[in-house]
Chains A and B, each alone.
Chain A
């Protein structure tokens, strides 16, 4: 029993970072932009949050956890948005190819994160690894009282606040996309920008906003990983391939934020499953680690078999829009 609770807990912890990334990517893809730069953007968000907190904690006598948290949140969101903005300028205004631009952004963002993660303390004149324990404590703080309830407390209330932000965000996003006028417009832009344009919707504006805000949200995934999961430290490539898992999760969730919630927990569970199955050899463990990707491939094939309209990617996904080109 105890192991199962820990397993569920760990699966959720693994899943939330991916969930942020997937939420950002769903919003982006709904506007017709396939942003393969998400993994890089998540690195950018993570390192920017860490740097913000680092300079704050270094510059003040008695750093306050709450202020550090605010600073790192803002830094992470803005820096990730900057990544989204680069992508937007190149693909929307300059009509560069989306796949190529996204991959370039991932190269850039991953390098950006690892570079500053490894060098920031040296550049600031210090030595050793950076650690922002004060700020991280704000992210790791659990709900007092509730988290002490046995079983229910451990499964539902034993996480930092970002977990609940991620869940709330999925619900809000779902409401926005499927229940509001602006959400409808956004989906129209993603499905068929030509028609949306003819209906008087400002295609570029929707694409820019969705991509930049989506990038900002994805950046929080990196921040979550750095602050709550790693306790305010940076390890090179520590974030690993979770960014691509986020892209995979979007497909798995069939572009629906609510599906992404349980999908992220499932992915998190698959990601760590090998640790909990007794008697696995090292080599079998490695096979198990491929599970999230294999499952995604199966879902991808499955939705292309079924051809159900609601489950398909946005029709205009991956294509630049140029009004004068028909």
Chain B
């Protein structure tokens, strides 16, 4: 099949602007990462296979573990007490390996809504929630959430009642944070598995609340 020449400037036949290909040269830091990784492999510190398996392990993590964690705090008062006291130990109790992560759980209640941000970089409880969403790492989310959290939450579709206090947690150092959202009404007697399906990633960052059962 002959290769027709397309020039990807201006707009496509459907009227949308062309998006630039992501094949620019490596940045300084990308080149540094490749160089360090190759050196570590060459010197036998790690194998390429170990690096690949670690990447796969990180990619495989998802907010599902966090949702199970939250659902158990809703159904098991002893576990909820442990999560409030030592959320890292509570992770282990669930069989989730916290790795080097040290976790604090902050709990929403009738008068309090918690939201997590990292203004300095993009600290996130990856061992419990998987990789952070791209917006969590954006300069806009990081700078505005500490300055005008209510405006940010409204943009996420969350309009908090007048009497609710917002507590922002800037994840500046060694701890990572998970929000325990409020258990939705109309879920009395539900099993933890069913409840976990109501716990969204955003509700554990604090930019959302748990789903209300339909």
**Chains A and B come from one and the same complex:** no
Write the residues of chain B forming the contact surface with A, with a CB cutoff of 8 angstroms.
none
Write the residues of chain A forming the contact surface with B, with a CB cutoff of 8 angstroms.
none
